[in-house]
A and B are shown apart, each in its own frame.
Chain A
Amino acid sequence: MIYDRRRTIMKLAGLFFLLIGIVIMVFLLRNSASSSGGSLTVTTDVTPVKLELGDIEKSVDTTSQKLSAPIGTYKYRASVQMDGKTVSLVDTVNVSKDAKLALSFKQLTSATIVNTLCANLGASRSCPFSVKNTVVSFAEGNTWAVSASSPVGYDKTTTVLRMNGGKWSIVEGPGTYIPTGGYYPRSVEEAINNAK
């Protein structure tokens, strides 16, 4: 009788410790899943991309690629080779279990700027600007652009553009003289002065 009671107590105690063990394991697994195991789907219009997430370095070789990284907030730098130079996008991204990051590099090409300049002239006129006669410099983390165009038969013109909601809009120009002296951020003014 006493022997049976002891066995029952032992069984109950074993069950109790087993339950505690399961609870601890679930807690640890959940915890580790929340501190790592993040997923980031990167879409890009130019490949390959060298993507730096904090101290982690990844390569994006297709236009849509799923990457794994510990969950957290990262400052990132995405770099590609375009127009014969390195173009980088810098921002922050929250990596969660199903995070997304869209990279748009084509906005940072001379062709996009020329298209914006031409669209500004309207469809009724032929566009004197082309990639061949336009030099573009980007400033302030690629949020400003200054273009210098030398179309045949026209004077050299400068245009100042600013990125608004993912699209370029013209702030000043095209004009043969763009005044500086504190109107724009310093790096933009430097680009305007270099374009003159």
Chain B
Amino acid sequence: MQNKSRHTKWLAALSTAVVVIAVFVLFVVMGHGKPVQYKQLNSKIGSYSIREDTLYTLDKNGFVATSLETGTEKRYSLIRMSSTVPAFSWDGSGALFLSSPDFNTIDDVAIAANEQGVDSMRPHWWRYDAKTNALTVFNPRQTDDCTSLTEISSDSFVCVKQASDTVSSDLYLVKSSGAGAQYLFTNPYSIRSVYYDSVHGSLYYVTQRLSGFDSVYSYSFKNNEESLVYKSSGGIDGLSVDKDGLVYLLQKRSPQKQTSGQGSPSIGTVAPDDKHYDGQALVVYDAHTTKTLPLRNLPVRLYTDSGVSHISYSDGEILAIQDSKPKRIFEADRGTKKSPAVFYFSHGDKRYYIDKGSLYVQSSK
């Protein structure tokens, strides 16, 4: 009788434990709350540039500034744009962009090109002055061949040109005043992207070696010296520098499939599936050493907000990197599925995302 009672107690305790575990598992699997809600702020985002608390965009009708704080929009004067814009940035006074003409439509850029005596059928770099609404072709004799143009001060820009061997890159300092371009140096490889750290006066750039793998270099304007920061055995898909000068690199496993250890890659692209992101890592460089931290197998980006570098996953998780340690500030978004190209970012304590040409802000936790 006593045995039976003990047996029943044990059974009850076991059942309770099973129920508790089941509830816990359900809680973890299903999540613990309602999906995060978002509010749409802007719906016609083409090229964009985020500066302080404003998102500047260029759409088919010109430039728009959207305040990330209030969501209010300011549209600048109407500029009909049908050209492709491969590069766009906004500085304190206006925009700098590269326009590639649409051969079927005559837009305001093509009209301005004809008025300013440059070939409207060729790509050019343009300056847009937000005060005067003037659209001016930017120093065409010196910038037309620039694959990238990076602002380093209000009147100085670094221009990257492909060298005559089609592999090396020549770098020039171009002045907005129209003065002659100053040759800086030649890097032996093709420069894919450029980043200027205005706090420390250093230029960082990602180059693609003959093997198809990437390297990162820095150039100091103070010492007029170029130095190798990191030689990757894969691709570098993002670069960010924080206020302390720590450099963060987003290293992909490999840009393409390798045929042999050092051989060049076979021609073709890898489909953006989960395996493509397998093995990607965050590389931290502190001027002396590099440290590698693993990342999840998802599309990921780097961005800087208030001098702090952030990791942003395509599922909405955002991590702020402090003292080279990533700390989660937003959990993954369990709402409706977004496209793989979605870009989540934070500003202050709010989370935003840009997907399919629209900007959204988180309206609830």
Contact = CB atoms under 8 A, between A and B. Distances in A.
Interface of A: 35-36, 52-56, 69-77, 79, 88, 90, 92, 95, 137-142, 181-182, 186-187, 190
Interface residues of B, number: 23
Chain B interface mostly = loop
Contacts, number: 77
Contacts of B263: 54, 70-74, 95
A35 B165 contact: no
B145 interface: yes
Most chain A CB atoms below 10 A, which of B119, B210, B266: B210
B212 interface: yes
B117 interface: no
B170 to A, nearest CB: 12
B166 interface: yes
B164 A55 contact: no
Contacts of B210: 52-55, 74-77
Given A35-B261, A77-B165, 4 more contacts: A73-B266, A140-B166, A142-B165, A182-B122
A141 B168 CA distance: 11
Grouping DSSP codes into helix (H, G, I), strand (E, B) and loop, the A interface class, with mixed when no group exceeds half, is strand
Contacts of A139: 164
A187 B264 contact: no
B162 to A, nearest CB: 8
B259 A141 contact: no
**Which of B144, B166, B209 has most A Cβ within 10 Å?**
B166
A141 B165 contact: yes
A70 B167 contact: no
A53 B122 CA distance: 35
Nearest to A38: B260
Contacts of A75: 210-212, 264
14 contacts: A53-B210, A54-B210, A55-B211, A70-B262, A72-B263, A73-B264, A77-B165, A90-B166, A139-B164, A141-B166, A142-B165, A182-B122, A186-B122, A187-B162
Contacts of B266: 73
Nearest to B259: A72
A71 B260 contact: yes
Given A75-B212, A186-B145, A190-B145, A90 B262 contact: no
A109 to B, nearest CB: 15
A187 B145 contact: yes
Contact of A88 (B122, B165, B259): B165
B352 interface: no
Nearest to A139: B164
Contacts of A76: 210
A61 to B, nearest CB: 21
B167 A77 contact: yes
- Nearest first, the 9 A-B pairs at minimum CB distance are A72-B263, A72-B260, A54-B211, A88-B165, A141-B166, A72-B259, A55-B211, A75-B264, A70-B260
Contact of A92 (B168, B213, B264): B264
B121 interface: yes
Contacts of B209: 54-55
